[in-house]
Structure 1
Amino acid sequence: MPLHVPPAPAPALRTVLTALGSPTAVREARTPSLRTAQGPLTAELPLPVHVLDRVTPAGTSATRLAGWRFLIRCHERAVAAAETRLTPDGWAFSHFFEGPYVTATERALRQAETVPGAYQPRLLSVPGLYMLTLWLHGDPTADGTGGHLAPTDLLVPLAPAPPGIAAHRPHRAGDLLPVLTHRLTPALATTPTPPPLLGSPA
Structure 2
Amino acid sequence: MPLHVPPAPAPALRSVLAALGSPTAVSEARTPSLRTAQGPASPELPLPVHVLDHITPQGTSPTRLAGWRFLIRCAERSVAAADAILTPDGWAFSHFFEGPYITSTERALRHAEAMPMPCQPRLLSVPELYMLTLWLHRDCTDDGAEGSLAATDLLVPLAPAPPGIAAHRPHRVAELLPMLNHRLTPAPLLSSPA
TM-score (norm 1): 0.91
2:114 alignment counterpart = 114
* Alpha-carbon distance in 1 for matches of 2:113, 2:3: 6
1:30 alignment counterpart = 30
Structure 2 contact 134–155 (Cα < 8 Å) conserved: yes
User: Runs of 5+ in structure 1 lacking a partner?
Assistant: 189-202
Matched to 2:179, the amino acid is: V
Identical positions, percent = 80
Deviation at 1:116, TM superposition (A): 1.2
User: Runs of 5+ in structure 2 lacking a partner?
Assistant: 189-194
Structure 2 contact 70–83 (Cα < 8 Å) conserved: yes
2:62 alignment counterpart = 62
2:172 alignment counterpart = 172
Deviations 1:97-124 (A, max 9, x none): 0000011111111110011111000000
* Alpha-carbon distance in 2 for matches of 1:100, 1:82: 14
Misfit runs of 4+, over 2 Å = none
Q: SS of the residue aligned with 1:128?
A: helix
* Alpha-carbon distance in 1 for matches of 2:171, 2:16: 32
* Alpha-carbon distance in 2 for matches of 1:7, 1:164: 34
Structure 2 contact 81–97 (Cα < 8 Å) conserved: yes
2:83 alignment counterpart = 83
CA RMSD, 1 decimal: 1.0
2:43 alignment counterpart = 43
* Alpha-carbon distance in 1 for matches of 2:144, 2:107: 21
Deviation at 1:2, TM superposition (A): 2.1
Number of residue pairs matched by the alignment: 188
* Alpha-carbon distance in 2 for matches of 1:124, 1:139: 16
